[in-house]
Amino acid sequence: MRYGDKVAVDGLSLEVARGSVTAVLGPNGAGKTTTLETCEGYRKPQSGSVRVLGLDPQRDRRDLLPRIGVMLQSGGAWSGVRAREMLDHVARLHAHPLDTGMLSDRLGLDDCGSTPYRRLSGGQQQRLGLAMALVGRPELLFVDEPTAGMDPAARRTTWELLEEIRADGVTVVLTTHHLDEAERLADTVHIIDRGRLIASGTPAELTRGGRSATIRLVVTRPFPDGAPESLRIALGEGTEVRQLDAVSMLISGPADSTTLSTVSRWCEEHDVLPESLSLGQRTLEDVFLELTGRELEP
């Protein structure tokens, strides 16, 4: 997919299993929305092919639309329409809609049902978007950044709702640049960067093994000056040391037993008393860093 000279999605190839939750994870501008919009039939790829529920999203649009739910990243409602009116309107477009009262209640939209769309908070607009995508009982749900702009409570409710939807057998494809969201919700994660697929697998497969380990060191009183540099020298080539605050550091280095013992010896030599020294599991952030040399959420 290109916009003029700009190649937004480049030779990306992925499959989504029915009944699964798939996360397309990547930084801003990676091509996530373009990928979704191509699957939804809003964009025509210049090359390659897309099949959704066995149908061509462009050619078979009329047959596909009643079977999918789409939550756009923003918009999707007229600015003056009241939240509940919009949801009821979308429900009437479907043959067997869900009960809109139940959906409003479940998504915490009852309090703002008579508020015009443009006056809803970002999180409320997101929740209304999700309700609109769900009301037609889709077989397949596309959600673009489902929890962007939501407070922590609304995020949790949305995650629970998406888990319930999966339990009902609905296939979910979501985009996110939040690692915790992908780790919590997805059966399969596709990491994309600059329009290309750079890794795919279950969160466990992607974070297992690898070349690096993450060690978190928390000490009882502030580190001496130059501590990160001195620790990096002690650990040698291929190790990164990041000071998080006055008393904690994050060390990413080779996944072998000597790394931990070197850190503990360095503490002893520098009269630093560890409060905790823990070897952490690799996260999707580490995977992204390893593959691209950049951080996913700077």
Ligand X SMILES: Nc1ncnc2c1ncn2[C@@H]1O[C@H](COP(=O)(O)OP(=O)(O)OP(=O)(O)O)[C@@H](O)[C@H]1O
Q: Closest distance between ligand X and the C-beta of residue 32, in Å? A: 3
Which residues lie across from 218 on neighbouring strands?
248, 276
176 binds ligand X (CB under 6 A): no
Which residue type does 201 have?
A: G
Which residues lie across from 278 on neighbouring strands?
216
In the list 21, 30, 52, 189, the residue contacting ligand X (rule: CB under 6 A) is: 30
Q: How many residues sit in the footprint of ligand X (CB under 6 A)?
A: 12
Q: Which stretch binds ligand X (CB under 6 A): 28-36, 109-117, 153-161, 200-208?
A: 28-36
Angle between helices 83-92 and 122-134 (to 10 degrees): 20
Q: Closest distance between ligand X and the C-beta of residue 26, in Å? A: 5
6 binds ligand X (CB under 6 A): yes
- State which residue, 48 or 238, has the beta carbon closest to ligand X: 48
Token code pair at residue 239: 């190790």
Give the integer Cα–Cα distance in Å for 154 and 121: 12
Residue-wise DSSP of 196-235? EEEEEE-HHHHHSS-SEEEEEEEESSPPPTTHHHHHHHHH
- State which residue, 199 or 241, has the beta carbon closest to ligand X: 199
- State which residue, 164 or 297, has the beta carbon closest to ligand X: 297
Q: Which stretch binds ligand X (CB under 6 A): 23-31, 97-105, 150-158, 228-236?
A: 23-31
Task: Please give the angle made by the CA atoms of 4, 10 and 13, to the nearest 5 degrees.
Answer: 140
Q: Closest distance between ligand X and the C-beta of residue 64, in Å? A: 21
Q: Closest distance between ligand X and the C-beta of residue 197, in Å? A: 13
In the list 33, 38, 171, 252, the residue contacting ligand X (rule: CB under 6 A) is: 33
Cα end-to-end distance, the chain, whole Å: 26
26 binds ligand X (CB under 6 A): yes
Q: How deeply is 171 buried, as exposed, middle or buried, from its count of CB atoms within 10 A (0-12, 13-18, 19+)? A: buried
In the list 32, 106, 127, 166, the residue contacting ligand X (rule: CB under 6 A) is: 32
By the criterion CB under 6 A, which residues form the site for ligand X? 3, 6, 8, 26, 28-34, 177
